[in-house]
Structure 1
Amino acid sequence: MLSSGTYPIGTPGQAWGDAERATWLARQVRRRSYVDDVASAIDRLRDRFDVAPYGQLDYPPEQFELFAVRSRNWDHALPIVLVTGGVHGYETSGVHGALRFLERHAKDYAGRVNLLAAPCVSPWAYERIHRWNPLALDPNRSFREDSPAPESAALLRLVAPLRDNVLVHVDLHETTDSDESEFRPALAARDGVPFEPGEIPDGFYVVGDSENPQTEFQQALIAAVAKVTHIAPADAKGEIIGSTVVAPGVINYPLKRLGLCAGITNAPYTTTTEVYPDSPRATPDQCNAAQAAAVCAAIDFALARASR
């Protein structure tokens, strides 16, 4: 077992204080552009959607405008589909998979659902290719009342008026090799606990809600994505990332209790997608396509059930 002392910041067994967080922040380097990669792509959607800011992140000397994309002819008689990406900014296909869905597939659902998308919830982390925000907080453990993470708080405000009317919420994520090499060791060091090595699953999988598992729904996403890229197998314990596999490529978490993004509405159909971009069997384009396919499958399943 590795200890948190193997991480270059902090003292083993002691949670970080302000000095350690400052040291960590000073090590973060901007590696790509939110404006060039994401905001410009969102801007190109303005001829088909209503695009508007839903918040601003102030991380001096930087500021980031957060954008939501909505169906232009919003019809209160139609169900709402929420798509979120980039809650963890380093998970690239979460952002670009959401954009791909909007660019290529959203037209297929015009007049059938109201679409609301937040393609990049964490732009600072997108630029640094990181999991946390500058406060060393994980936005995807911070979706709760009085959230300490500005990214999470802004999305909660956006969704609050709609949370009881959402039919489907698909939150797009990745599981990467850096989870094991950087982010989980950093988490252990930050919290002053031992780091216990895990296993990165090779392939796509989904995380349902243990309080509302909807296994058939999750399996429909797996079946659709299997046509695009490979599905992660269970490990020798019958698990994926420490959770029991309840169907091929499907595990469950208590979404709301953990403060996860997929739990921010009362939608009957919710899922967190996970692709593995570091696999030798998957390309970045496949990862983006898998995310878009999952969104389409989620909407198709929910609409088919609603029409029964």
Structure 2
Amino acid sequence: MMQSHTLYPIGTPAQPWSAAERAQWLSRQQIRRSYADEVVSRLQASMPAAGVLVQYGELDYPSLGLPRYPLFAVRSRVWQPQRPTALITGGVHGYETSGVHGALQFIAEAFEVCSERLNLLVLPCISPWAYETINRWNPLTLDPNRHFYSASPAQEAAAAMACVAEYAPHVDLHIDLHETTNTDNSEFGPAKAARDGVAFDWHEIPDGFYLVGDTERAEPQFQHALIQAVAQVTHIAQPDKHGCLIGEPLQQHGVINNPKRQLGLCGGMSAARYVTTTEVYPDSPQATAEQCNRAQLATIVAAIDYLLRERA
């Protein structure tokens, strides 16, 4: 179903945005929650003994008059090269709340136990300005989750890639925590279409949890194991009448695939054998915020268990 260009209040139909429209978009954004209070303070208060808090960079947009945002990761205090390594990323899209809070919950509740068996690197909030303004984009109207490649123009993606290269150069498992929300159709999809001067390609929002594997590293048994684990916490999304989720054909129950490297997705930044992106639906009448966070946590723990079984 194709929607009209005129759904979005900025720009001229069929014309990509210029600097003026981008500035207009930025002027409409407001701080709606606190990265310092909700993310940084929680990290500092719940740091496990087996982890160390690392500042791996700082977001700085001086020409836009925005504050600087320190970027934090939690790394295993004792790093053992002979062990497998798991990378967990959250908040690439700052508005996807359970991606951030699921990562924080993992750090607080499961990091200590899991770190006894493997190396861990967790980046819980890659896009703090977007977290505060509840946005998909960064201040330059770039989607960080399309800019994970060399010489990235997105500071968020570039800093995250540099962090992984420095602290976890070999990754066996990568879980990237996301949500699919109703605002993907009401705000963020129309905004992207307006920015690019194209028609908005509407897709039904799936009601429930699903995973996005990598076309090049599908690992269907791995994906299946994660779906089984999450099904104990919340419901799994059913495909639409075309057998798709968000326009992508279903590969198995609750799983679709994307070419992550080709699209510049966060999940494509490492050579990990096992990689997946979670998609939680926080707007479902069948799920609570706590269930969404727990679904993210369940995915991470199940993925680590699967990796360790395969390496045994």
Return the TM-score normalized by structure 1: 0.98
Three-state SS of the structure 1 residue aligned to 2:110 is helix
**156-165 vs 262-271, which deviates more?**
156-165
Which residues in structure 2 correspond to 1:234-253 (within 5 Å)?
A: 234-253=239-258
Instruction: Assess if the C-alpha contact under 8 Å between 2:47 and 2:107 holds in 1.
Output: no
Instruction: Establish whether residue 45 from structure 1 lines up as the match of residue 46 from structure 2.
Output: yes
Pick aligned residue for 1:82 from 83, 87, 102: 87
- RMSD of aligned residue pairs (Cα, Å): 1.0
Instruction: Assess if the C-alpha contact under 8 Å between 1:10 and 1:190 holds in 2.
Output: yes
Which residues in structure 2 correspond to 1:122-201 (within 5 Å)?
A: 122-161=127-166, 165-201=170-206
Counterpart of 1:57? 59
Pick aligned residue for 1:257 from 255, 258, 262: 262
Runs of 4+ that moved beyond 6 A? none
Q: Which amino acid aligns with 1:31?
A: R
Counterpart of 2:5? 4
Distance 2:214 2:144 in 1: 18
Three-state SS of the structure 2 residue aligned to 1:181 is helix
Q: Which runs of 5 or more residues in structure 1 are unaligned?
A: none
Question: Residue 107 of structure 1: CA displacement?
Answer: 2.1
Distance 1:233 1:28 in 2: 34
Distance 2:188 2:66 in 1: 25
Question: Residue 164 of structure 1: CA displacement?
Answer: 5.3
Counterpart of 1:34? 35
Q: Which amino acid aligns with 2:89?
A: T
Distance 1:2 1:46 in 2: 46
Question: Residue 108 of structure 1: CA displacement?
Answer: 2.1
Question: Residue 268 of structure 1: CA displacement?
Answer: 0.1
Instruction: Assess if the C-alpha contact under 8 Å between 1:163 and 1:266 holds in 2.
Output: no
Aligned residues: 307
Distance 1:175 1:138 in 2: 15
**105-114 vs 188-197, which deviates more?**
105-114
**15-24 vs 58-67, which deviates more?**
58-67
Question: Residue 4 of structure 1: CA displacement?
Answer: 1.8
Distance 1:301 1:52 in 2: 27
Question: Residue 162 of structure 1: CA displacement?
Answer: 5.8
Distance 2:165 2:234 in 1: 34
Instruction: Establish whether residue 216 from structure 1 lines up as the match of residue 221 from structure 2.
Output: yes
Q: Which runs of 5 or more residues in structure 2 are unaligned?
A: none
Instruction: Assess if the C-alpha contact under 8 Å between 2:47 and 2:108 holds in 1.
Output: no
Question: Residue 159 of structure 1: CA displacement?
Answer: 1.0
Which residues in structure 2 correspond to 1:289-308 (within 5 Å)?
A: 289-307=294-312
Alpha-carbon deviations, 1:108-134, whole Å to 9, x = none? 213210110000000000000010000
Distance 1:228 1:27 in 2: 37
